[in-house]
Amino acid sequence: MGGPLAGLRVVDCSTILAGPLIAQILGDFGADVVKVEHPRRPDGMRGHGVAVDGEGLWWKEIARNKRTVGLYLGDPDGAEVLLDLVQHSDVLIENFRPGTLEKWGLGWDVLHEANPRLVLVRVTGFGQDGPYAGRPAFGTLVEAMSGFAHLTGQPDGPPTLPAFGLADSIAGIGGVGAVMMALYHRDARGGRGQVVDLSLLEPIMTAVGPAPTVYDKLGIEQRRQGNRSTNNAPRNLYRTSDGHWLAISTSADAVAERVMRLVGHPEVVDEPWFATGATRAEHADLLDGYVSSWIAERTRDEVMDIFVEAGAAVAPVYGPADLVADPQVQARQMLTRVEDPSLGSLLQHNVLFRLSETAGGIRFTGRPHAADTDEVLVQDLGMDPQLVAELRERGIVA
């Protein structure tokens, strides 16, 4: 369970959701992550989502492999403690509004002087500069601005937002790559620490695709297509005779041919317009009609067996119960059981990447608020226990 990042220390001062996800993934692969929270106002992620006996289940995952410290950074003495911690760390992650660290006397100039090797990850909605830099922002706002909501939903319906933290999750997963590039520059190239300026908006803009390029070059604004695609057809969700939904995609021309032969309409394969995904998409009504009527006469298992046997791309629409029971998910242990001291056995997402030589692991679940303050400050940093007690009395540590 050591993982490839054993020996790396990460200080996570961030809250919902991208920054903590970066820290979680780094911790999953061996980094020693110290989670810093306000002494009296714990991270909002603790109460985010469903809870059992007052303990958030999401917190148990997003804060796993993190030791927790209660520390008030707005007091100069609290800021001094963080500086001490930074001197012994490799990465600091924060998602305060631009200028907040500077207000506390913890700007990049101060942090870099204290530890020239430090990588500072600054997560914001819109970035550290520009006219929107100071605006409050959540993933919902950038999901709207990025073009995602504009392209999601039925053609005659409203724009649609995701029901989960999509923008934050994309930024968090992408942010891990940014951290590792900065560390590679530092460690393999003999460089210094640097700032990673990570906005939520830019990663999801990339994920949405080349809509700005298309508009700039051709003046075309892509529109909502429901579950269809302008790039290929048939591509949709289709209802089976026993009430389930199946997803079919034909991004490869050969797969499109197989699907149409399977559903009993080989004649369309010889049509000139069938040769490319874009021209097939212009005949989506016809193709969807053939596919949907064929699927509607068969059960989910029947369709799945026939399509898989023929090498045609198909997948069922899953809810959580289906996902947990899926044999592929089980075979690869995409979900794994972890023991939590207070809640017992928890089913969590496994580590995100598969490394053949240096696999990571889940050492422990999300910890109680400030559970490790004394261990980190006294044992790791060598602070005088009496000083820690005085800071606790003043409410600077918890």
3 state SS for 110-133: HHHHHCCCCEEEEEECCCCCCCCC
> 159 and 42 in one domain?
yes
Q: What is the CATH number of the domain that holds 377?
A: 3.40.50.10540
In terms of domains, do 296 and 339 share one? no
Task: Dig out the tokens for 132 from the structure.
Answer: 């929107």
Containing domain of residue 20, as a range? 9-207+331-393
CA–CA dist 95, 97 (Å, integer): 7
**Where among 290, 316, 342 does a domain terminate?**
316
Domains of the chain: total: 2
257 and 364 both lie in a single domain: no
Q: Is residue 158 part of a domain?
A: yes
Kindly calculate the radius of gyration of the chain based on its CA atoms and give it in whole angstroms: 25
* Inside any domain, residue 2: no
194 shares its domain with 138? yes
Q: Which of 12, 90, 168, 380 is catalytic?
A: 168
In a domain, residue 183? The reply is: yes
Show the tokens assigned to 177: 């790559």
Asked if residue 130 and residue 198 are part of one domain, the reply reads yes
Residue 148 sits in the same domain as residue 282: no
Residue 212, in any domain of the structure: no
284-296 and 253-262 are packed helices; what angle lies between their axes, rounded to 10 degrees? 50
- Residue after which a domain boundary falls, among 268, 290, 316: 316
Is 168 catalytic? The answer is yes
Q: Which two tokens stand for residue 31?
A: 């980094």
On whether residue 227 sits in a domain, the answer given is no
Task: Please report, for residues 204, 214, 318, the alpha-carbon distance to residue 210 in angstroms, rounded to integers and kept in the order given.
Answer: 12, 6, 29
**Is there a single domain that holds both residue 312 and residue 344?**
no
State the pTM of this model. Answer: 0.95
User: Residue 259 falls within a domain, yes or no?
Assistant: yes
**For residue 119, which of 84, 80, 93 has the smallest C-alpha distance?**
93
| pLDDT value of position 153 | 96
Same domain flag for 258 and 376: no
- Identify whether residues 309 and 338 lie together within a single domain: no
Q: Is residue 195 located within the same domain as residue 99?
A: yes
Q: Quick check: 292 and 264 in contact, CB under 8 A? A: no
Task: Decide which of 261, 282, 316 is a domain's last residue.
Answer: 316
Per-residue pLDDT of the chain (398 residues; tens, 9 = 90+): 679 999 999 999 999 999 999 999 999 999 999 999 999 999 999 999 999 999 999 999 999 999 999 999 999 999 999 999 999 999 999 999 999 999 999 999 999 999 999 999 999 999 999 999 999 899 999 999 999 999 999 999 999 999 999 999 999 999 999 999 999 999 999 999 999 999 999 999 999 999 999 999 999 999 999 999 999 999 999 999 999 999 999 999 999 999 999 999 999 999 999 999 999 999 999 999 999 999 999 999 999 999 999 999 999 999 999 999 999 999 999 999 999 999 999 999 999 999 999 999 999 999 999 999 999 999 999 999 999 999 999 999 99
Instruction: Judge if 17 and 154 occupy the same domain.
Output: yes
Q: How open is the CA angle 196-24-149, to the nearest 5 degrees? A: 70
One domain, residues 36 and 163: yes
324 lies in a domain?
A: no
Residue 203 makes CB contacts below 8 A (sequence gap 6+) with: 167, 170, 171, 174
Does 226 map to a domain? no
